[in-house]
Every structure is written in C-alpha cells, then in structure tokens.
C-alpha cells in the first residue's frame, strides 16, 4: 500500500462550525485550512451548496491521485509531520479502522482522481453544527467557541475575526455564519444518505449544548438507522444530559472523547471556565454507562500543560479508579494529541531548559510505569506517549519566533480572566520573570 494512502478522500466528509466543507480536521493547520473551494475561491458550504459536488473538486481529485502515487498533499502536512516525529497520525488509525482494499480503490478511481459517489458513498461524517459553546479554551477562539466572543473583543480591540469564509463580525453576541444548520436542503441530503452512514463524529462548539445535534440523533433513530451507526464525540464533559444518554441506547456504539487536559486548576485554566469537580463527576457517569459506550480522555498537549501531563497520567493509572475510561489495550493510559496551532502555545515554543526538564520527567514516568508492574499494553502505550511527545517537542524550536508571543498572550488573557499561569504551573517562574 502507498505510504501516504488514507481512506478519508473516498469515504468521508467534514463540515466546519461555520458550514465550510473541508478535507478533514487535521488539515486545519495548513494555509488553506483544508477547505474545499470553488473555482472562484469561495468555500463549498453545507449551508448553501451540494455536499456531493464538493467531493469531486480539483483539490479532492489531486489529493486522491497523490495518495495513490505515494505523494503528500499540502493538506496532509500534519499527518506527514506527525509520522516523521514518531506520533501516531490520523492517517494511520483511519487505515487501521477502515482497511480499504487498495486495488478496489484504484480500479474505481478515475485517471483524473474523480470518483463516482455511488461507488464510494459517504459512510463517515465529521459534523459541527455551529460554534455554540460554554467554554473558552486557551488554544481555541471565536471560530470554534461562542464563549470566546467577549474575551476576543477585549484581547484584540475588535468585534471581527477571520474565518475560512472571510471576516466574521460579532453583532449582539452572535455571528450569522454559524446559523448554517438552518439550511433545510442540507438535512435532506443527509437523510437521503442516512442508511449508508456507519460513523459520525461530533465536535463543536459543544455538541451536548447544540440542539441540531439532537435533531440528527433523533432522525437516525426514527429512520431505524441508529443500530448501524457509531457516534463519536469530542465533548468538554461540562454537561451530560439524560436526553443524550437515553438516545445513545439506540446506537450501535457511542464513543466519548472527553476533552480533559489535566486535573484541578490545570483543567480549569486551560479550559476556562470548566469546573474540575463537575468534569470528574460526568466522567464517572460515563464510566458507568452501558457496554455500547466507549470512552477515553482526549488530552490536548500544550505549552501550559505538558509538564502536568505526567502527573495526570499517573493519576489516571493509580488513582482515578475508572473501570472503562481508556480501558482498551490500544489506549489504556490516556489518548492525547499535540496542539499544533496556535504556534505560541505549541510545546515547541518552550525554552530548551524547560524542555530538557520535562523530557527527563517523561522518562522518569516511563520508568515508574515499568517499576509499577503494569501490563504490557500499559507499558507499550506509555513508551509510545513518551517517545512521541518528547521527540516532537525537541525536534524543532519555536522559541525565537514565538516565545514573546506566548508571554504577551498569556499575560493579556490572564489579566482579562483574572487568572495567573504561575498559580497553575509554578515551573514557569524562572522563564517568565527571569
């Protein structure tokens, strides 16, 4: 198989919070943010365009041909870089999950890279029904969280921000573009394909707070399609309504990726205004749900919490007492991903001395795992985490280009939110005040 092949361009469709259709969320770190565009440069948008038409654009055709020829496309740069750094890329695990027959794919892909959408119906969706959210995570912004609006205005002095379809304007605490799910033809297209769907990934915004997310679940149940569908979430675990857990009972499987970036003050700082006690309570509720619910801790690694990550993993293994959260052989510790952007919060921005100290602590953690007589699956994943995070962190430095930006951004946001990084991570004292 081609070393760049990924099933995504053949079986998948992704929609941003503003309705723009993109290759996949990993492409968000590229210049174009992976958005599929028309000849005039405007984005295909689920709030006004055909989902099917977006599948055979010049971009999608070129990506398919590159993958079949073993070449990397610009939109696939994140997976390329992660694999080069020893991290497990999305391309890797999508290939493990879908295991498409490459010979069949080649035979059904035309010479120009186009496909008959009947040969390759969309079986896998990434749906983000707007940006309504109750948290304002530090690595996020107004494009993905409505809770960011007030802080954005204070931070930048403007009520405007750039998104993939141009400049967005906050008016009366609202941005019109994020109302795209009101476009009824979108729902007609989705329902026409509902019996082909095998997997749906929800993010946001916060999906548990978005009404259109419940509309979709109910339509799947009413169409008797839910029993064939895996529903997956990226949720901040601030709320877990009975309404959603009741609907989950009808689905083949529900996968809950809990966006939890640490314990106590660290979680509350990075994902303000999250409350750790409430988060933990909801994690324990998920841990006790029926067997068709699979859950894991989706830890976003940033400059703020990479050092704390070690304590968090120890807590998960020795104190959390979870029975089913991160209980699989593949992911018995935690599930993590590095925040590539913004670059001033990427772990590569850290001073070399800080990196060296954190690297030593990661290696000590690995030895602790081995000395604690955990099983082979825990040891293997711990090894992969330690190698992946430290190799990525140390392979390049953003210090000269982005450290001052880290300091400025952190100080400004701390002032706006009445928070203090040193209260959360005292290790920064020598690097901020020195």
Same domain, 388 and 355: yes
296 in a domain, yes or no?
A: no
285 in a domain, yes or no?
A: no
DSSP type of residue 87: P
- Which strands, in side-by-side order, build the sheet including 335-338? 21-22, 12-15, 124-127, 199-202, 230-235, 253-258, 293-301, 335-338
pLDDT at 434 > cutoff 90: no
Same domain, 131 and 254: yes
Domain tally, the chain: 3
Kindly state the tokens that stand for 353.
Answer: 């001395």
Rounded to an integer, what distance in angstroms lies between the CA atom of residue 240 and that of residue 278? 10
Same domain, 110 and 140: no
Contact 183, 51 (CB under 8 A): no
Same domain, 329 and 412: yes
406 in a domain, yes or no?
A: yes
Same domain, 72 and 131: no
What is the maximal distance between C-alpha atoms in the chain? 63
3 in a domain, yes or no?
A: no
Contact 44, 60 (CB under 8 A): no
Rounded to an integer, what distance in angstroms lies between the CA atom of residue 14 and that of residue 200? 10
Per residue in 54-92, pLDDT (tens digit) is: 999 999 999 999 999 999 999 999 999 888 888 788 899
Which residues make Cβ contacts (< 8 Å) with residue 262, sequence separation at least 6?
270, 299, 305, 308, 309, 311, 312
pLDDT at 274 > cutoff 80: yes
Residue with more model confidence, 260 or 93: 260
Residue that is last in its domain, among 90, 122, 154: 122
Per residue in 17-48, pLDDT (tens digit) is: 999 999 998 887 778 889 999 999 999 999 99
279 in a domain, yes or no?
A: no
The candidate with the shortest Cα–Cα distance to 257, out of 216, 306, 311, 294, is 294
Per-residue pLDDT, 37? 94
Task: Name the pairing type of β-strands 335-338 and 293-301.
Answer: parallel
Average pLDDT, the chain: 95
pLDDT at 413 > cutoff 60: yes
Same domain, 218 and 202: yes
Contact 27, 34 (CB under 8 A): yes
Q: Which domain holds residue 59?
A: 8-122
DSSP type of residue 112: T
Residue with more model confidence, 330 or 294: 294
Same domain, 227 and 310: no
Same domain, 146 and 201: yes
The structure's pTM equals 0.91
pLDDT at 244 > cutoff 70: yes
Per-residue pLDDT, 85? 81
280 in a domain, yes or no?
A: no
Per-residue pLDDT, 1? 66
List of E strands, 190-292: 199-202, 230-235, 253-258
Residue that is last in its domain, among 224, 243, 259: 259
Residue that is last in its domain, among 98, 122, 146: 122
283 in a domain, yes or no?
A: no
Same domain, 251 and 129: yes
Per-residue pLDDT, 40? 92
Per residue in 340-365, pLDDT (tens digit) is: 999 999 999 999 999 999 999 999 99
Same domain, 98 and 166: no
Burial class of residue 75, CB neighbours in 10 A (0-12, 13-18, 19+): buried
Which residues make Cβ contacts (< 8 Å) with residue 6, sequence separation at least 6?
67, 76, 79, 90, 91, 94, 95
Q: With bands split at pLDDT 50, 70 and 90, how would you rate the model's confidence at 309? A: very high
Rounded to an integer, what distance in angstroms lies between the CA atom of residue 155 and that of residue 139? 14
Same domain, 129 and 102: no
Same domain, 400 and 366: yes
62 phi and psi, to 5 degrees?
Answer: -65, -40
Per residue in 144-202, pLDDT (tens digit) is: 999 999 999 999 999 999 999 999 999 999 999 999 999 999 999 999 999 999 999 99
69 in a domain, yes or no?
A: yes
């Amino acid at each position: 198989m081609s070393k760049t092949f990924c099933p995504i361009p053949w079986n998948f469709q992704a929609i941003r919070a503003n309705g723009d259709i993109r290759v996949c969320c990993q492409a968000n770190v590229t210049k174009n943010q992976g958005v599929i565009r028309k000849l005039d440069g405007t984005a295909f948008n689920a709030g006004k365009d055909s989902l099917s038409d977006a599948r055979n654009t010049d971009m999608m055709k070129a990506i398919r041909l590159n993958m079949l020829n073993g070449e990397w496309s610009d939109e696939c740069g994140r997976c390329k870089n992660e694999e080069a750094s020893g991290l497990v890329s999305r391309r890797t695990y999508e290939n493990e999950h879908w295991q498409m027959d490459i010979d069949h794919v080649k035979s059904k892909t035309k010479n120009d890279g186009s496909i008959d959408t009947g040969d390759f119906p969309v079986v896998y969706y990434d749906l983000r029904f707007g940006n309504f959210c109750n948290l304002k995570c530090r690595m996020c912004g107004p494009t993905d969280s409505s809770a960011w609006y007030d802080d954005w205005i204070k931070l930048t002095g403007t009520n405007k921000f750039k998104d993939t379809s141009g400049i967005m304007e906050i008016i009366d605490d609202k941005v019109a573009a994020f109302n795209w799910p009101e476009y009824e033809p979108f729902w007609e297209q989705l329902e026409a394909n509902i019996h082909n769907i095998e997997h749906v990934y929800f993010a946001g915004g916060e999906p548990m707070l978005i009404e259109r997310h419940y509309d979709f679940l109910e339509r799947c149940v009413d169409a008797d399609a839910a029993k064939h569908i895996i529903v997956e979430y990226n949720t901040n675990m601030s709320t877990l309504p009975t309404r959603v857990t009741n609907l989950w009972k009808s689905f083949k499987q529900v996968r809950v990726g809990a966006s939890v970036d640490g314990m106590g003050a660290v979680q509350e700082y990075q994902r303000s205004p999250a409350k750790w006690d409430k988060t933990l309570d909801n994690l324990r509720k998920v841990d006790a749900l029926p067997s068709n619910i699979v859950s894991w801790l989706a830890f976003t690694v940033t400059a703020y919490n990479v050092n704390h990550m070690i304590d968090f993993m120890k807590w998960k293994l020795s104190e959390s007492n979870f029975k089913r959260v991160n209980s699989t052989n593949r992911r018995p510790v935690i599930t993590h991903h590095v925040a590539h952007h913004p670059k001033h919060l990427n772990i590569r921005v850290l001073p070399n001395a800080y990196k060296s100290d954190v690297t030593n602590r990661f290696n000590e953690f690995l030895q602790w795992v081995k000395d604690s007589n955990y099983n082979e699956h825990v040891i293997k994943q711990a090894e992969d985490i330690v190698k992946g995070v430290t190799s990525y962190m140390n392979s390049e430095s953003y210090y000269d280009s982005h450290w001052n930006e880290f300091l400025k951004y952190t100080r400004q946001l701390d002032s706006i939110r009445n928070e203090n990084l040193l209260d959360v991570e005292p290790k920064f004292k020598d690097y901020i005040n020195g």
